[in-house]
Structure 1
Amino acid sequence: MGPRRYVICDIEATGLDEDRDLIEIALITFEDDKVIEVYDTLINPLRPIPEFISNLTMISNRELETAPKFYEVADAIRMRLEGAVFVSHNTEFDLGLLRKKYKEMGQELKVKNFCTLKVAQHEIPGLRNYNLDALCSFFGIKIEERHRAVGDAKATLGLFKELLQLRLKTYTKILFLPHHEKMLKKIPSKAGLLYFKDPNGKVLRFEASFNMEKTARELLEVKADNRDLLMKVEMVEGEVTGSALIAEFKKLLFHPYQPHWMIVTQELDTGEKFFKIRPYKKGLNGLWYFKEYLDAKKKLRTLEHGLKDQTFAYRDSGKSKEEIVQHNRKVDNFSKEARFPNDNLVIVGEGRTMGEKSLILVRDNHVVGYGYTEASEDEIYAGPEQYLTRRFFQHLGADLATRKYIRVLKNLRNKTESWRSLSLS
């Protein structure tokens, strides 16, 4: 944690009003990852305290009558705070009251401060309550002597150590908000579609996944990258689809893929083929599709770099027929990357329940649809159309998702799905 000295403070007061006064203060000096000193004293507020404060703190008026007055301990408090970082849970309250007391004496109190309340609100977005009890419960910190200065200061020290690790990105535990943790336990560790909902039940995000529990935990882990979901998500539900690709299809029903640009092949009068960016238009077939022009441009540069012929680059004459044929062969090979491995194929994987299988059918380089069945794989491959429960007609989003999915399947170690080419018959 470094050589910096921290003083963890907790104050008990006569109340929360502007005219409040101190009745007890605890200062825990913390340096080099250990407690150096614990200082605690009652303070006579020079007036009776309300009964509810006495009941809350178990501090009696009789005890306070014999306690030192603030000006009698002011130097002892200042000595401990000077050069240290002031830490408390709600420094606006604690440090504000201390500064007020020194101001009454004609003095000024200047210290750097670390508010565990504000830091917790920043580092743990979405928590329903940020009071000391809720945060200590969240981190598993036991509070002894609640509403007494030393007990609360010790709890604040425990909280401070946890929050400092979070702020410094050295925290090793994985944390979840309590209301998320309960729901995460109900999410199956199967492929499917996740629904992240706000308090009104509105879906904020859909996420297709091979393992819904793992994905949900990654997206709801308490960390800065997940701030938006942590702040807004009240509920998370999972729909088992067996196949993560079918989950992608279902996601497309809510968020259709709308490209703005595409890369196509065109041909010169010489017969030489080349790649070109064109605005997307429904009905026109492209090889690659993009929402952003810069992404399309980046892909085009990569393709052109792969087609570049250094031998030809330093010649003044045009390409020969043989060179054009060789060049076009390269164009065709690159174009195959944007197509299915075979124009007709079926992907078979796990179903939603034991014994059930999922299938996705591709015909003529387009996804025809998907379905579920308990038939054998041989029966599926022999006549996949009869098992379809949902059909598509040249659905661009489904085609692109499936092409990408097949590339993912090739690289997966533990495959739960596989594809097989089909004949046209």
Structure 2
Amino acid sequence: MKRITKNIGLRGELPAPADTTNETDLNPSHLYAIIDIETTGGQPAQDKITEIAIFIHDGQKIVDKYNTLINPQRPIPYFITQLTGISDEMVQDAPKFYEVAKEIVEFTEGKVFVAHNVRFDYSFIKKEFADLGYTFQRKTLCTVRLSRALIPGLPSYSLGKLCKSIDIDLKQRHRAIGDAEATAVLFDKLIKINRPVVDGNMHMAAENTSQLLKQEIKTSLLPPNISKEQVDNLPMVPGVYYFHNEAGEVIYVGKSINIKKRIIQHFNIDYKSRKSLDFKNNIADITCELMGNELVALLFESAEIKRMKPFYNRQQRRSVFNTGIFVYEDEKGYKRLTYGSINKADNVSMTPLIALSNHYKAKGFLYHKVSKFNLCQKLCDLYKTSGACFDYQVHQCNGACVGKEKPETYNVRVNAAIDSITYEHNSFVIISKGREPGEKTIVVVEHGTYLGFGFVDETFSASSLEDFKGAITRYNDNKDIQQIIRNHMRSKHKDKVIVFE
């Protein structure tokens, strides 16, 4: 058995990337590259590898191994050194990744890439090779998933606690050589757990292992707690899906016009940060609600995110929108945009054009409209003065603030700005495809305010807006909802729209 403990200077062109996927007719005699790495941090996009260890297993035993420190060509953070024991001094004379890249390719060629939480190690190594202009691709297998399948019910499947649970001696914790060796011993134990000899039939035992490994390789990119059957049973229709943790709590809400396809995309995306890895590892169940079409899925997703505030949703979490953008006409005939509290709109007693979360967001919104539509800062309450606004002094305002531009000319641009944030019609209903044949969805907007949506039988008959309002579930209106509906109305949709003026 050979052991390489440092770079031996192999250079030259990297071999052509292998054309490989996670589809395989694997049998236990194939080779597995069991890998662990140490890095400068948890994000492949910006962090680098400091150590790599590879143990080769032939389906029966460990037959070879490789280990080297790597100079990351950047300082190693203090807390990483405290965790791994790898310091800047230790890697100062170590080879750089490009100097060992050819060895890593050759050492793993034709082998299944095995790791504990394989997505972490695989994503880092793929990124290092991508930086060299090379596509690194291997079949993958995750020992976390394999452990959960073969040793269910353990309190933890982290490498340290798992090794303690099944009596694996884990030396040099948080060093690549120590963790890779422990993972190799774990892998050896796991495949032998699934290989009992029945009536002396070794062939049947080996076939048992082959089928299990084949299945795990196909599903290695799924979260450890999610089975292939769960994904296979997902619907391929529009709707909203929920990821739950082991306690049943919703940790993420999403939507798609094809739920199954979108969720598979979630799981196939390369790991970008430690947080994204934690996110996938925390997914223990998937549920969904069918919506019938993309518009209603978007509306319901937004409402659910605001209601539940799942930990891993960052967009659309805000549920309080206290500040509005208003329009009124002053005594000189100029249309003026302003902002203020929706509940305490001073002397502006009309419905807001749009609701935002706070005054800071509202001012930023108005500054954008002033710039885009060449409006006057003073007439948008963004520049307090009795004379000309600042933009007029630098020749960026046409002078509405001092009466130089006539109201009818200025108001054309104000109306264009208003049109960009409001609906074409004041009150309307959108009728679209339902969840099943014979059903339709209705979305109701009254006086520019979204009221909600509902599902009705295709025989449903309505002669007034009140009839439609009686058939919906009420939901809150807000900036996010308004944007969703505006975008839909401006798209090339084929929905029926009934207008009430």
Question: C-alpha separation between the residues in 2 aligned to 1:169 and 1:260?
Answer: 49
CA deviation after TM superposition for structure 1 residue 224, in Å:
1.1
Equivalent residue for 1:307, pick from 374, 396, 400: 374
State how 1:174-185 maps to structure 2 within 5 Å: 175-177=221-223, 179-180=225-226, 182=228, 183-185=230-232
Equivalent residue for 1:261, pick from 316, 323, 327: 323
Equivalent residue for 1:248, pick from 301, 311, 331: 301
State how 1:343-358 maps to structure 2 within 5 Å: 343-358=426-441
CA deviation after TM superposition for structure 1 residue 240, in Å:
0.6
Superposed CA offset, 1:167-202 (max 9, x none): 327367994435446233333232212111111100
Please say if 1:404 is aligned against 2:483. Answer: yes
Q: Which residue of 2 aligns with 1:26?
A: 3
Q: Which residue of 1 aligns with 2:103?
A: none
State how 1:34-49 maps to structure 2 within 5 Å: none
CA deviation after TM superposition for structure 1 residue 418, in Å:
1.7
Please say if 1:224 is aligned against 2:224. Answer: no
Tell me: CA distance 1:142–1:371, structure 2 relative to 1, closer, same or farther (3 Å): farther
| Runs of at least 4 residues off by over 6 Å | 309-312, 314-317, 381-384
CA deviation after TM superposition for structure 1 residue 163, in Å:
5.3
**Could you tell me whether the CA contact under 8 Å between 1:345 and 1:419 is conserved in 2?**
no
Q: Which residue of 1 aligns with 2:403?
A: 319
Question: C-alpha separation between the residues in 1 aligned to 2:463 and 2:125?
Answer: 55
Q: The residue matched to 1:326 in structure 2 has which SS?
A: helix
**Could you tell me whether the CA contact under 8 Å between 2:329 and 2:336 is conserved in 1?**
yes
Q: The residue matched to 1:296 in structure 2 has which SS?
A: helix
Question: C-alpha separation between the residues in 2 aligned to 1:391 and 1:158?
Answer: 50
Superposed CA offset, 1:283-330 (max 9, x none): 87322333355543332112222134889957799426x811222233
CA deviation after TM superposition for structure 1 residue 350, in Å:
1.9
Tell me: CA distance 1:364–1:266, structure 2 relative to 1, closer, same or farther (3 Å): closer
Superposed CA offset, 1:81-132 (max 9, x none): xxxxxxx96xxxxxxxxxxxxxxxxxxxxxxxxx72546x9579xxxxxxxx
Question: C-alpha separation between the residues in 2 aligned to 1:401 and 1:338?
Answer: 12
Return 5+ residue gaps in structure 1 as ranges: 1-23, 35-87, 90-114, 125-135
Q: The residue matched to 2:432 in structure 1 has which SS?
A: strand
Superposed CA offset, 1:347-395 (max 9, x none): 1222122332111122332233322223259x467778268543438x3
Tell me: CA distance 1:360–1:211, structure 2 relative to 1, closer, same or farther (3 Å): same
Tell me: CA distance 1:148–1:333, structure 2 relative to 1, closer, same or farther (3 Å): closer
Letter in 1 for 2:477: L
**Could you tell me whether the CA contact under 8 Å between 1:277 and 1:297 is conserved in 2?**
yes
Superposed CA offset, 1:218-242 (max 9, x none): 4443421634522422222211111
Q: The residue matched to 2:369 in structure 1 has which SS?
A: helix
Equivalent residue for 2:36, pick from 106, 116, 120: 116
Letter in 1 for 2:337: F
**Could you tell me whether the CA contact under 8 Å between 1:265 and 1:276 is conserved in 2?**
yes
Tell me: CA distance 1:229–1:388, structure 2 relative to 1, closer, same or farther (3 Å): farther
Question: C-alpha separation between the residues in 1 aligned to 2:249 and 2:260?
Answer: 20
Q: Which residue of 1 aligns with 2:175?
A: none
Tell me: CA distance 1:191–1:314, structure 2 relative to 1, closer, same or farther (3 Å): closer
Please say if 1:186 is aligned against 2:233. Answer: yes
Equivalent residue for 1:374, pick from 432, 445, 457: 457
Question: C-alpha separation between the residues in 2 aligned to 1:152 and 1:145?
Answer: 18
Q: Which residue of 2 aligns with 1:166?
A: 126
Tell me: CA distance 1:327–1:181, structure 2 relative to 1, closer, same or farther (3 Å): farther
Q: Which residue of 2 aligns with 1:363?
A: 446
Question: C-alpha separation between the residues in 1 aligned to 2:469 and 2:366?
Answer: 40
Equivalent residue for 2:251, pick from 200, 204, 211: 204
**Could you tell me whether the CA contact under 8 Å between 1:209 and 1:247 is conserved in 2?**
no
Q: Which residue of 2 aligns with 1:39?
A: none
Q: The residue matched to 1:216 in structure 2 has which SS?
A: helix
State how 1:333-344 maps to structure 2 within 5 Å: 333-344=416-427
Letter in 2 for 1:403: Q
Letter in 1 for 2:126: L
Question: C-alpha separation between the residues in 1 aligned to 2:413 and 2:265?
Answer: 41
**Could you tell me whether the CA contact under 8 Å between 2:354 and 2:421 is conserved in 1?**
yes
Please say if 1:281 is aligned against 2:340. Answer: no
Q: Which residue of 2 aligns with 1:148?
A: 62
Question: C-alpha separation between the residues in 1 aligned to 2:426 and 2:433?
Answer: 23
**Could you tell me whether the CA contact under 8 Å between 1:197 and 1:204 is conserved in 2?**
yes
Q: Which residue of 2 aligns with 1:392?
A: 474
Q: Rg bigger for which structure?
A: 1
Question: C-alpha separation between the residues in 2 aligned to 1:312 and 1:152?
Answer: 66
Tell me: CA distance 1:269–1:382, structure 2 relative to 1, closer, same or farther (3 Å): closer
The share of aligned pairs that are identical, in percent, is 14
How many residues in Structure 1 have an aligned counterpart in Structure 2? Answer: 303
Q: The residue matched to 2:64 in structure 1 has which SS?
A: helix
Question: C-alpha separation between the residues in 2 aligned to 1:151 and 1:392?
Answer: 63
